[in-house]
Amino acid sequence: VEDHQQLLKWMFEDHGWDCDPGAIDNQSGPATRGATQRFKERYNQEFSQSIPVDGGFDRAAWEAFHDVYERELRLSMGWTQADLDGVRLQLQLIDAGAVGC
């Protein structure tokens, strides 16, 4: 839950989305559920999507944050999606078990 709260706080503080979960307390209380619901509403508007709007931090919420990260990466680099895809095609793993963060 703390991870969810951190992500919601980031969108509130850095992007002005109305999804402040309040204190980062690792509790899925009313403030966090409300913030999650407002995040999903705003995500649907900004990304022309229709994920279910509720207070659950589910797979749809994680995928929505992935879309936000992708957009942030493109904007910060001044790239298009094609540019980003092209760079990703050139990446090589160190070994089959490697994990990149």
Q: For residue 33, what pLDDT is reported?
A: 97
pLDDT surpassing 80 at residue 97: no
Q: For residue 34, what pLDDT is reported?
A: 98
Number of Cβ within a 10 Å radius of residue 7 = 22
**What does the pLDDT look like over 19-66, one tens digit per residue?**
999 999 999 999 999 999 999 999 999 999 999 999 999 999 999 999
Q: Which amino acid is at 90?
A: Q
**Angle in degrees, CA 38, 39, 40, rounded to 5:** 90
pTM: 0.85
Q: Which amino acid is at 37?
A: Q
